[in-house]
């Protein structure tokens, strides 16, 4: 059972008549990266700032490790919670080391910090301690500055770190790097990280738990995988976007079948059938009427067994007892049937009895390879 790091109980925040957070109940588990995500103005920042009391709720209670946040002194509370903001907020008149050691210096005065800890943290966030320790923020790139921002938040070893869109001002490459490093870092440190973003890709990438907010309420909370598989409603669906959903939606037979299998009328002679099969390089042929009505399937062996009987047509040799699939059948159910089919071929026939496609074992392999093919195509653009 995971401990709860932060808990909101019936929290409401309003400015005048405007209700910004509407009776919020929320429980944030310890040791995870929890991402608050939602459209602009939905109250993510407000929610986050109520944890370290930069904003006070109008009503309700906020608890940090089961203690009401109003109990400790405000400054005291904040020193136990790391804080990283989008604008980075390094103090320009202080060196990198002075910036990182800020929180312990607030508590213990000038000498109240551990110099080796500063170096360790610099290395932890991927900066060479010897060359950056005594520099000033203005000498660093935005990405390097935010690394220092993260190191500064870690200095007092707080169990909880709040991050408000920490990477959104950075260029895409740097952002990706810092996201990767945050994930790596927390595999090591197991902090409770409350991370605010409005970028769904970022949320899906770094989150252990995603909290989707909209209009001052929690719409859905769950793992990225859970949310992709079971979006709670249209709002979540819309926020995720069709593209992300389709790559995770459960597939149906129609998604992967061959839509235009080789087919012939049951009145065709066997010689003609063989010729078509040779031309199209297939080992079985589907039999259907002009209007598309499915009749059966004939394999090479079925045809050759009776080939010498010149009066025979496809209708005489085809098998009619082969199981078929409905196009809307979930793939998970179809897989075993495809595996057990006599030639690994299963006709797909819709409710009106019309032939719409053919499932083969090869279709399943294609499905597995699809994400990789798409990736290869995207990077080749």
Q: How far apart are CA 214 and CA 240, in angstroms?
A: 13
Vertex 8, ends 78 and 220: CA angle to 5°?
A: 120
Among the listed ranges 41-49, 119-127, 217-225, 265-273, the one in contact with ligand ATP (CB under 6 A) is 41-49
- Is there binding between residue 46 and ligand ATP (CB under 6 A)? yes
Q: Where are the alpha helices (DSSP H) in 125-265?
A: 129-132, 142-154, 172-189, 200-206, 224-229, 234-240, 242-248, 253-256
Q: Could you say which of 13, 21, 32, 45 contacts Mg ion (CB under 5 A)?
A: 45
Q: How far apart are CA 34 and CA 166, in angstroms?
A: 14
Comparing CB distances to ligand ATP, the nearer of 41 and 330 is: 41
C-beta of residue 284 within 8 angstroms of C-beta of residue 343? yes
- Is there binding between residue 102 and other proteins (CB under 8 A)? yes
Among the listed ranges 74-82, 237-245, 255-263, 372-380, the one in contact with other proteins (CB under 8 A) is 74-82
- Is there binding between residue 144 and Mg ion (CB under 5 A)? no
In the complex, least distance from residue 12 CB atom to other proteins, rounded to whole angstroms: 22
Comparing CB distances to Mg ion, the nearer of 77 and 85 is: 85
Residues in region 176-215 near other proteins by CB under 8 A: none
- Is there binding between residue 91 and other proteins (CB under 8 A)? yes
The pattern of x and - marking residues 259 through 278 that bind ligand ATP according to CB under 6 A reads --------------------
Residue nearest ligand ATP (C-beta atom): 45
From residue 336, alpha-carbon distances to 40, 254, 333 in Å are: 46, 16, 7
- Is there binding between residue 85 and other proteins (CB under 8 A)? yes
- Is there binding between residue 27 and other proteins (CB under 8 A)? no
Q: Which of 337, 361, 345 is nearest to 301 (CA)?
A: 345
**CA dihedral (50, 51, 52, 57) positive or negative:** positive
Burial class (CB in 10 A: 0-12, 13-18, 19+), 336: exposed
- Is there binding between residue 101 and Mg ion (CB under 5 A)? no
Stated as kind and residue range, the H or E segment containing 345 is strand 345-349
3-state DSSP helix/strand/coil percent for the chain, to nearest 5?
40, 25, 35
3-state SS, residue 112:
coil
Burial class (CB in 10 A: 0-12, 13-18, 19+), 36: buried
Could you say which of ligand ATP, Mg ion, other proteins, none residue 335 binds, taking C-beta under 5 to 8 angstroms by partner kind?
none
Q: Could you say which of 16, 17, 40, 92 contacts other proteins (CB under 8 A)?
A: 92
- Is there binding between residue 53 and ligand ATP (CB under 6 A)? no
List contacts with other proteins (CB under 8 A): 52, 54, 74-79, 83, 85, 87-95, 102-103, 106, 136-139, 152, 162
List contacts with ligand ATP (CB under 6 A): 15, 18, 20, 38, 40-46, 198
List contacts with Mg ion (CB under 5 A): 45
């Amino acid at each position: 059972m995971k401990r709860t790091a932060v808990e909101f109980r019936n929290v409401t925040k309003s400015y005048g008549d405007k209700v910004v957070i509407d009776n919020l109940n929320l429980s944030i588990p310890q040791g995870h990266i929890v991402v608050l995500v939602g459209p602009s103005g939905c109250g993510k920042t407000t929610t986050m700032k109520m944890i370290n009391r930069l904003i006070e709720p109008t009503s309700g209670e906020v608890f940090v490790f089961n203690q009401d946040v109003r109990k400790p002194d405000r400054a005291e509370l904040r020193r136990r919670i790391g804080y990283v903001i989008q604008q980075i907020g390094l103090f320009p008149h202080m060196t990198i080391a002075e910036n990182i050691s800020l929180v312990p210096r607030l508590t213990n005065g000038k000498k109240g910090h551990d110099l080796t800890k500063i170096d360790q943290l610099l290395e932890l966030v991927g900066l060479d301690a010897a060359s950056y320790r005594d520099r000033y923020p203005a000498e660093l790139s935005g990405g390097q500055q935010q690394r220092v921002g993260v190191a500064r938040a870690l200095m007092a070893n707080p169990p909880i770190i709040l991050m408000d869109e920490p990477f959104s001002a950075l260029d895409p490459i740097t952002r990706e790097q810092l996201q990767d490093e945050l994930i790596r870092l927390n595999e090591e440190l197991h902090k409770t990280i409350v991370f605010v973003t409005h970028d769904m890709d970022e949320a899906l990438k770094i989150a252990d738990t995603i909290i989707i907010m909209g209009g001052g309420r929690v719409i859905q909370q769950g793992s990225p995988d859970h949310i992709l598989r079971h979006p709670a409603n249209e709002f979540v669906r819309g926020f995720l976007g069709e593209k992300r959903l389709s790559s995770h939606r459960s597939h149906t037979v129609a998604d992967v079948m061959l839509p235009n299998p080789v087919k012939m009328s049951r009145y065709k002679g066997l010689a003609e059938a063989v010729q078509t099969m040779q031309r199209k390089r297939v080992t079985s042929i589907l039999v259907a009427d002009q209007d598309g009505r499915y009749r059966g399937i004939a394999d090479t062996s079925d045809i050759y067994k009776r080939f010498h009987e010149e009066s025979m047509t496809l209708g005489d040799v085809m098998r009619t007892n082969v199981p078929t699939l409905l196009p809307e059948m979930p793939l998970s159910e179809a897989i075993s049937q495809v595996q057990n089919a006599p030639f690994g071929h299963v006709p797909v026939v819709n409710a009106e009895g019309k032939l719409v496609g053919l499932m083969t074992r090869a279709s399943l392999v294609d499905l597995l390879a699809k994400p990789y093919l798409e990736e290869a195509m995207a990077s080749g653009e």
